[in-house]
Amino acid sequence: MSYPPPVYLGEGGEVTARFRAVDTPPDLPRPGGAAHYLATGATTAGRFGLYRWDMGAEPGGAQPHFHRTISESFFVLSGAIQLYDGSAWRESGPGDFAYVPEGGVHGFRNESGAPASLLILFAPGAPREAYFEGLVEMAEGRGAPSHEELVAFLEEHDNIYI
């Protein structure tokens, strides 16, 4: 394995870093939690997307599914989160990490009765924001899709539930 070809061809470097303070309000408040769009595919030229997913104390999360076009990684920041590795749900806590390549069955959930938070990394940086926002609309009752519409929504956003 070697480094990829250079992307930046300048000589002196540039002031292009982006900083986001920990107290920045969430980009997507949602029932029982929030999503923070730390780095979207749009801001990373499609290289990756990084999100902080804050979960409330009530049970919730994603049931087993896979993606055809993106890998997904999870890093638990706080609380107790169950991560599904394709064969079993694993109790996970702060510092635990899971990488799921394209096609890998996975899921996550918080059933601990206490808040929890994790980082979710997608590579490449697909436009996950529309997916997250659509989920919140449905959870808040602003959208009640038929079964066929729900399946189409999930497939449009590369979420294939098993």
CA distance 79 to 55: 9
Residue 104's pLDDT is: 98
User: Could you tell me if residue 149 is inside a domain?
Assistant: yes
User: Could you tell me if residue 22 is inside a domain?
Assistant: no
Residue 132 carries which DSSP code?
A: H
Positions in the chain whose pLDDT score sits under 50: none
Contact 129, 37 (CB under 8 A): yes
Residue 144's pLDDT is: 82
CA distance 74 to 121: 7
Instruction: Quote the number of domains for the chain.
Output: 1
CA distance 127 to 12: 32
User: Which CATH number characterizes residue 135's domain?
Assistant: 2.60.120.10
User: Could you tell me if residue 128 is inside a domain?
Assistant: yes
Residue 32's pLDDT is: 86
Residue 141's pLDDT is: 81
Residue 24's pLDDT is: 97
User: Could you tell me if residue 56 is inside a domain?
Assistant: yes
Q: Looking at this protein, which amino acid is placed at residue 68?
A: R
The pLDDT tens digits of the residues spanning 1-11 come to 899 999 999 99
Residue 55's pLDDT is: 96
pTM score: 0.93
User: Could you tell me if residue 44 is inside a domain?
Assistant: yes
Domain range for 136? 28-161
Residue 140's pLDDT is: 84
User: Could you tell me if residue 87 is inside a domain?
Assistant: yes
User: Could you tell me if residue 20 is inside a domain?
Assistant: no
User: Could you tell me if residue 5 is inside a domain?
Assistant: no
The pLDDT tens digits of the residues spanning 122-144 come to 999 999 999 999 988 888 888 78
